[in-house]
Amino acid sequence: MTDKLKEIEVGILVNNAGMSYEHADYLHLISDELVAKLIQINIVSLTRLTKAVLPGMESRKKGLIINVGSAAGTMTIGDPLYAVYSGTKAYVDAFSRSLYLEYKGKNIHVEVRLE
């Protein structure tokens, strides 16, 4: 999928896909499958999509990437009983801020929006 994205002129990317738990729970009670899905959707997919569109944005010398995060990823203690979700959204925040600094000189703006 990301190879096909490299062929499309993407000017604005909004990474809004994400998931959380059905209900608050302790980490040891959450299935390995749920942990893997949270990481895949909230981190891996966002990172791969971003990586796929950056070469085109760089060559056109412009672009906007908006990553949808969560306050759970920016609070000092995260969101208790949602540790994996909070951790994945902390990644989105740190990833976005780092990319902003890396690409601002290339006229590519990266931001994180808290939902």
CATH number at residue 82: 3.40.50.720
Q: What pLDDT was estimated at residue 74?
A: 82
Q: How many domains, the chain?
A: 1
pLDDT at 101: 98
CB 32 within 8 A of CB 77: no
Residue in 82, 85, 91, 100 annotated catalytic:
85
Residue 79 pLDDT: 77
Res 64: pLDDT: 98
Give the model's pLDDT for residue 8: 85
pLDDT of residue 80: 87
Domain that holds residue 91: 2-114
Terminal-to-terminal C-alpha distance of the chain: 26
Query: In the prediction, which pLDDT does 113 show?
Result: 94
In this prediction, the residues of the chain whose per-residue pLDDT falls under 50 are none
What interhelical angle do 83-103 and 46-60 show, nearest 10?
10
Q: Give the per-residue pLDDT at 12.
A: 96
85 is catalytic: yes
